[in-house]
Amino acid sequence: MRRITVQDRLVWVTGASLGIGRAVVVELVRRGARVIASARNELALNELARECGGDRVVVLPLDVTNRQATLQAAHTIRQQFGYLDIAFLNAGICEYVDVATFDSSIFERTMQTNFLSVVYGVEAMLPLLRAGRHPQLVGMSSTVAYRGLPRAEAYGASKAAIKHLLESLDLDLLKDGISVSVVCPGFVKTPLTDRNDFPMPFRIEAHEAARRIVDGIEARNPEIHFPKRFSLLLKLLSLLPHCLYIRACARMVHSS
Distance CA 181, CA 217 (A): 7
Q: Show me where the domains of the chain are located.
A: 10-255
- Cβ atoms of 45 and 39 within 8 Å: the answer is yes
Q: Greater confidence, 198 or 52?
A: 52
Q: How high is the pLDDT of residue 218?
A: 98
Instruction: Report residue 198's pLDDT band, with 50, 70 and 90 as the boundaries.
Output: low
Average pLDDT across the chain, whole number? 93
Q: Which of 166, 165, 76, 61 is nearest to 124 (CA)?
A: 76
Distance CA 130, CA 118 (A): 17
Out of 83, 120, 146, 155, pick the active-site residue.
Answer: 155
CA separation (Å) from 175 to 3, 167, 172? 19, 15, 7
- Cβ atoms of 49 and 59 within 8 Å: the answer is yes
Beta bridge partners, 140, equal 183
Distance CA 28, CA 48 (A): 12
Instruction: Report residue 253's pLDDT band, with 50, 70 and 90 as the boundaries.
Output: low
Q: State whether residue 225 is helix, strand or coil.
A: strand
pTM: 0.93
Q: What percent of the chain has pLDDT over 90?
A: 77
Note if 155 is an active site residue.
yes
Cβ density class 125-156: b for 16+ within 10 Å, e for less: bbebbeebeebbbbbbbbbbbbbbbeebbbbb
Instruction: Report residue 254's pLDDT band, with 50, 70 and 90 as the boundaries.
Output: low
Give the DSSP H or E segment for 88: strand 86-89
Q: Greater confidence, 84 or 149?
A: 84
Q: State whether residue 216 is helix, strand or coil.
A: helix
Range name among 122-136, 164-178, 237-251 with the lowest pLDDT average: 237-251
Q: How high is the pLDDT of residue 148?
A: 86
Q: How high is the pLDDT of residue 128?
A: 98
What integer is the mean pLDDT of 200-213?
89
What integer is the mean pLDDT of 187-193?
75
* pLDDT of 255 higher than 60: no
Instruction: Report residue 193's pLDDT band, with 50, 70 and 90 as the boundaries.
Output: low
Q: Which fold has domain 10-255?
A: Rossmann fold (3.40.50)
Q: How high is the pLDDT of residue 144?
A: 92
* pLDDT of 214 higher than 90: yes
Sheet with 179-185, side-by-side order of all strands: 57-59, 34-37, 10-13, 86-89, 136-140, 179-185, 223-226
* pLDDT of 122 higher than 60: yes
Distance CA 71, CA 73 (A): 5
